[in-house]
Amino acid sequence: MVNLNINGKTHRIDVDPNTPLLWVIRDSLGMTGTKFGCGAQLCGACTVHLDGKPVRSCGTPVSAAAGKKVTTIEGVAASEAGKRVQAAWAALDVPQCGYCQSGQIMSATALLAAKPKPTDADIDAAMDGNICRCGTYPRIRAAIHKAAGGKGA
């Protein structure tokens, strides 16, 4: 049994401690906003926050999340940065197909929580590894600046 704090709620889950956190979130708890992309921690579609830091849940064993706060896309709006990022995403119509966007939003929210006024270089570094096959990178960058209250706002 593993005790998890996900989006402020405690869950007691009976799974192998090596089970990837992604599958516990999606299959055991039914929160399907976190996506499976590559399964190799390379694309960022499965990004969640672990104690406020973005991690790839496809490669994070559930045992590594025990005793920590996990935030998924379903709970990101509980933070002020998460609300601003989601509002900016909607205002600038960022998604095209949308598949990668939960991971993009999670990485962007962690960036703004750590660095409220990021530069383009900060954005590039924080978003590195979050792949968008539709190529919405210019809108993602603009939305992050908008959420930070900067250009594009």
pLDDT (tens digit per residue) in 35-79: 999 999 999 999 999 999 999 999 999 999 999 999 999 999 999
Q: What is the SS3 assignment for 48? A: strand
Residue 126: name the closest of 49, 65, 59 by CA.
49
pLDDT value at position 150?
Answer: 73
CA dist 19 and 128 (Å) reads: 26
pTM of the model: 0.96
CA distances to 7, 35, 42, 146 from 69, rounded to whole Å, are 7, 19, 23, 27
